[in-house]
Structure 1
Amino acid sequence: MTAARRAVSNRRTRSAPRPPEGTPPRAELARQARTELADAVRIARWADTEGVRGACLPPGDSGTLSAEAAERAAAALELTSHQVQADWDRARLAGLVELHGDTARPGWRLQAWDRDDGAVLRGWVALFDAWSIAHPAPSAFAPGPVAEVVEAVPQLLSLLQLSEGAFLVSALQDLLEQRIAELRTERCEVPYGGGIPEPRAAEAEAEPGEPADAAGMSRGPDAAQAESAQAASPKAESAQAAFAKAESAQAESAKAESAKPDAVKADAGAPAAEGPPSGVLLDWALDALVSVGALTVGDGQARLTPLGNWAVWVKLEQICVAAQSPAGNIERSAEDMLRGCARLTPGPARDEYRAWLAARPSGSAVSELLDAARGDDALLRGLAFEALRVVGAPAEPAVRSVVDEPGLRPYALMWLAEQEGVDPDDPLAVLTREEATWLWIDTAAAVADHGEAPLLVRHLDSAVQGTVPALLAEVRAVGHPRTVQVLVALAAAHPDPALAKAVRRAAFQVHTGEA
């Protein structure tokens, strides 16, 4: 299948990774996710009913509810104002509520909440990705140490997933300190005063090719892909070495725990004295992951919940897929990458998109793809939105922001509709007739530039007008900049002389500005 044929086709083939043995069924995972987000759904539905807007959303306050709106919600839902604000934040992070200017609207996930398990799981994963935002770090600590802990947490999560069981918190503390020391060494930075020791001599001698991170779990919507880039390239034995180190650390911690006097063990559950920043921040990170339903902590041990285990496994699986870049486009710009993928069939092209996206933060990657879509090449525009389908929900805000750009509007509306489960084979269910005609011309331009003449002729069948005279009448009104070139190419390719003549006449009329 040629790249141009791919540009014409509206059907999208998707493949989902199969979860490991022992993972609860998808329906059970969705049930657990619904339970975790039940309070957030409740406040989102209240906001939908009340029509939260204007004074309810103080300007410049990042979408938080006003005190007056929080009090109204608290009275209606029998909650405290603090609980309302917390549930509101979780609803926004999970995509259950969307902010449009001074108005809050129900997100598409809320609309599909009761019928679409996929929407529910994506909503929970969005909250999991934003754990450090959902449960902010103590304000007493500087941003630097907090950022280091956030950057180190993905490796801890990957080791918890690989261990397939409980993990001593004391062992996690040791691993956290080692990881932060490695991060500082990589940046050639002087450690912050106190709190986290410099790496010991034995630890400082990293094995050749050892990965910077063993997993790419996100620290937020943009940080996930950046983590993945670090984890995609190292050798497999490096991850095994990291896991072996973790097991060793856990064994040493268990041994040290058993050697403590009984009096010391008895005090283990008592409030600890103020420790170093790393210890306090590890407690915060674990509490944050517990609060979003990804982790359980008790008796000095941490364990991933079924939801957390599934999410971490999916992200590790994505990293393994992203590491495969047969066409070698991972280091290229978005435009060059898309041009390289134009020669590939859909499956290998998606692998290239995943590898390219894994090598950079999702925010900047999405912006670069949209910039490429704004160019003159219609084929790149279509491929850019194919790549954005691989990004999925994290790209939604950026795609919504370009809906008012004429050149991107039809693609953006179709992309958003597919996220909501609308059939992509029925453009008139999403687009106006004029927008559907504009998209037909743009796709025809891609075919004319990169495809074969017979394919351009067959492209006539996909026009919403149904007849060539109706199509020609409406094509002249939409104002697409490539209309003349498309009509000339279609006239040259069509085997029917009478129809080709009518198409050439329409091209001349568009060129001269005739009605």
Structure 2
Amino acid sequence: MPRRPLTAARRTATTRRSRPPRPPEGTPPLDRLARLARTELADAVRLARWAGTGPGTAGPTGILPDDAAEQAAAALTLTRSQIRTAWDRARLSGLIELHGGTARPGWRLRAWDTDDTAVLRGWVALFDAWSLAHPFLPGPAAGPDPALVAEVVEAAPQLLSFLHLSDEPVPIDTLLDLLRQRVAELRAERHEPPADAAGDEPDPLPALLDWTLDALARVGALRPRDTERPDEVTLTAIGSWAVWVKLEQICVAAQGPAGHMEQSAETMLRASARLSPGPARDEYRAWLAARPVAPAVSELLETARGDDALLRGLAFEALRVVGDPAESAVRDVVDEPTLRPYAVLWLAELDGGDPDTATGLLTREEATWLWIDTAAAVADHGEDHLLVSHLETAVQGSVPGLLEEVRNVGHPRTVQVLVALAAAHPDPALAKAMRRAAFQVHTGEA
């Protein structure tokens, strides 16, 4: 029996992506943008490398303890405040990963000097998390309603889009008017009262806008205020590029072909199963664009935990469209037996690994479990000849070897898969062996 990686079956259902659109005229080339990102994250990279060779202890909450911060500050000739900031940036950009309270270099750090795409993705991850990198601190007095702070964060993409489309410095008063309008829209959508200041209390929105603009400038998305024109702001080159990328993603997502943007993840994935790979990815993008990333990722993973193996595979295909923002959630499920093989392969591909070799990260049992799960999807939703062809993707070198391991792997669909294979296989001897194996698993003889 010819041996092929388990991912071969999935690769037959993928197509080459179309050429990406060109960025606006005047946008620096990617290598120059990557240099800007490397400069912005230089201290975070130094700290991540120190954490990989030094103590690196982060504690269960991921916060760097005072003694470790002191050691890092002395080793890197930075202040403790700079170390705290660099630590947060390293975590948010994927330069540092936490494992059991210990900080280890992330995959992006390993690719930092050679892979411009990894560098830009790391900076965009920090850009997306600007409100976490520089959280709003109200000071000793009581600050604004936390719900209002969350609404300002939710409104920030519209402010950034306006700055990008303006392509010139924008007065802060204009942005404040736009922020008021967007917050009012968000409150109206949720049937909540307006966010006007109550009584003699000052209007909190100007201070929140200042915080937003300052935080975005500190991550490198906005230029520092010009002393001659302090009442205007403008995007940096890399900030404008990042906003353009996100606007392009929204435009593509808005073209969802099947019209399931408002449906559940399960309904959307079932509809996408009938589409060819390209339109299916468009449908994933449209569905993802209609909701916040974190709840969308959680819903996809919850769908993947269900009984339908096809939806499990499709959920991880949709998570491939999500990309980096889903990394933390996928890592959290890597120890769940049902999801582990999919999560391991997903993380390996995110790390830039070759899908054909990523299966080497799975144990033999995990690879066999994944083979059965894929076979269950084919048996439920495919045709007999596809099920027979699926035999070629097994890691075992023969059908008897496959059957020996399948009987012991403990997949809940093993019996149904073996019965379906026996019914579909044209070789009577092999079909008989499969029926016998199915009987042994059913009766507990395996």
Assess same fold via TM > 0.5: yes
Note the residue ranges of structure 1 that are not aligned, 5 or more in a row: 198-274
The 1:466/1:22 distance shift into structure 2, 3 A limit, reads farther
**Matching of residue 23 in structure 1 with residue 34 in structure 2:** no
Q: Which has the larger radius of gyration?
A: 1
Q: Which residue of the other structure, out of 210, 214, 223, is the alignment partner of 1:283? A: 210
**Matching of residue 507 in structure 1 with residue 438 in structure 2:** yes
Q: Indicate if the aligned counterparts of 1:441 and 1:486 stay in contact, CA closer than 8 A.
A: yes
**Matching of residue 463 in structure 1 with residue 390 in structure 2:** no
**Matching of residue 173 in structure 1 with residue 176 in structure 2:** yes
Offset at 1:110? Answer: 1.5
Higher mean alpha-carbon deviation, 109-118 vs 375-384, is at 109-118
Higher mean alpha-carbon deviation, 284-293 vs 92-101, is at 92-101
Offset at 1:28? Answer: 1.6
| Percent of paired sites with the same residue | 70
Query: Which residue identity lines up with residue 26 of structure 1 in the other structure?
Result: L
Partner of 2:343: 412
Distance 1:33 1:66 in 2: 27
Q: Indicate if the aligned counterparts of 1:112 and 1:420 stay in contact, CA closer than 8 A.
A: no
Matched residue SS, 1:104 = strand
Partner of 1:236: none
Query: Which residue identity lines up with residue 220 of structure 2 in the other structure?
Result: G
Offset at 1:144? Answer: 4.4
Offset at 1:449? Answer: 0.9
Note the residue ranges of structure 2 that are not aligned, 5 or more in a row: 1-5
Query: Which residue identity lines up with residue 278 of structure 1 in the other structure?
Result: L
Partner of 2:422: 491
Partner of 1:439: 370
Partner of 1:371: 302
Matched residue SS, 2:407 = helix
Partner of 1:362: 293
Offset at 1:345? Answer: 0.7
Matched residue SS, 1:165 = coil
Matched residue SS, 1:98 = strand
Matched residue SS, 1:304 = coil
Matched residue SS, 2:103 = strand
The 1:500/1:111 distance shift into structure 2, 3 A limit, reads same
Offset at 1:315? Answer: 0.9
Partner of 2:3: none
Distance 1:505 1:185 in 2: 64
Q: Which residue of the other structure, out of 247, 257, 274, is the alignment partner of 1:316? A: 247
Distance 1:96 1:436 in 2: 29
Aligned pairs for 1:211-230 (under 5 A) are: none
Distance 1:195 1:437 in 2: 67
The 1:491/1:192 distance shift into structure 2, 3 A limit, reads same
Q: Which residue of the other structure, out of 359, 367, 383, is the alignment partner of 1:452? A: 383
The 1:324/1:196 distance shift into structure 2, 3 A limit, reads farther
The 1:501/1:351 distance shift into structure 2, 3 A limit, reads same
Matched residue SS, 1:425 = helix
Matched residue SS, 1:99 = strand
**Matching of residue 94 in structure 1 with residue 93 in structure 2:** yes
**Matching of residue 472 in structure 1 with residue 403 in structure 2:** yes
The 1:470/1:145 distance shift into structure 2, 3 A limit, reads closer
Offset at 1:177? Answer: 3.6
Higher mean alpha-carbon deviation, 111-120 vs 437-446, is at 111-120
Query: Which residue identity lines up with residue 49 of structure 1 in the other structure?
Result: T
Distance 1:356 1:185 in 2: 23
Distance 1:468 1:161 in 2: 59
For residues 360-410 of structure 1, what are the alpha-carbon distances to aligned partners after superposition, in whole Å with 9 as ceiling and x for unaligned? 121111111111111111111100111111111111111111111111110
Matched residue SS, 1:307 = helix
Q: Indicate if the aligned counterparts of 1:362 and 1:394 stay in contact, CA closer than 8 A.
A: yes
Partner of 1:69: 68
The 1:436/1:445 distance shift into structure 2, 3 A limit, reads same
Distance 1:185 1:336 in 2: 28
Distance 2:307 2:184 in 1: 48
Partner of 1:253: none
**Matching of residue 9 in structure 1 with residue 10 in structure 2:** yes
Partner of 1:106: 105
Higher mean alpha-carbon deviation, 491-500 vs 390-399, is at 491-500
Q: Indicate if the aligned counterparts of 1:19 and 1:313 stay in contact, CA closer than 8 A.
A: yes
Matched residue SS, 1:105 = strand
Distance 1:413 1:34 in 2: 28
Distance 2:103 2:198 in 1: 45
Partner of 1:247: none
Q: Indicate if the aligned counterparts of 1:372 and 1:380 stay in contact, CA closer than 8 A.
A: yes
Partner of 1:37: 41
Query: Which residue identity lines up with residue 81 of structure 2 in the other structure?
Result: H
The 1:182/1:127 distance shift into structure 2, 3 A limit, reads same
TM-score, scaled relative to structure 2: 0.90
Distance 2:34 2:294 in 1: 27
Partner of 1:227: none
Aligned pairs for 1:247-262 (under 5 A) are: none
Offset at 1:313? Answer: 0.8
Query: Which residue identity lines up with residue 173 of structure 2 in the other structure?
Result: S
The 1:176/1:374 distance shift into structure 2, 3 A limit, reads closer
Offset at 1:178? Answer: 3.9
Q: Indicate if the aligned counterparts of 2:213 and 2:222 stay in contact, CA closer than 8 A.
A: yes
Query: Which residue identity lines up with residue 36 of structure 2 in the other structure?
Result: Q
Partner of 1:147: 150
Q: Indicate if the aligned counterparts of 1:372 and 1:381 stay in contact, CA closer than 8 A.
A: yes
Matched residue SS, 1:405 = coil
Distance 1:133 1:489 in 2: 51
The 1:125/1:454 distance shift into structure 2, 3 A limit, reads same
Offset at 1:91? Answer: 0.7
For residues 480-505 of structure 1, what are the alpha-carbon distances to aligned partners after superposition, in whole Å with 9 as ceiling and x for unaligned? 11111111111221122222222222
The 1:192/1:276 distance shift into structure 2, 3 A limit, reads closer
What is the number of residues matched between the two proteins? 429
For residues 284-312 of structure 1, what are the alpha-carbon distances to aligned partners after superposition, in whole Å with 9 as ceiling and x for unaligned? 22111111111113123211111111110
**Matching of residue 157 in structure 1 with residue 156 in structure 2:** no
Distance 2:320 2:99 in 1: 22
Offset at 1:17? Answer: 4.5
Distance 2:218 2:443 in 1: 65
RMSD: 2.3
The 1:410/1:145 distance shift into structure 2, 3 A limit, reads closer
Partner of 1:211: none
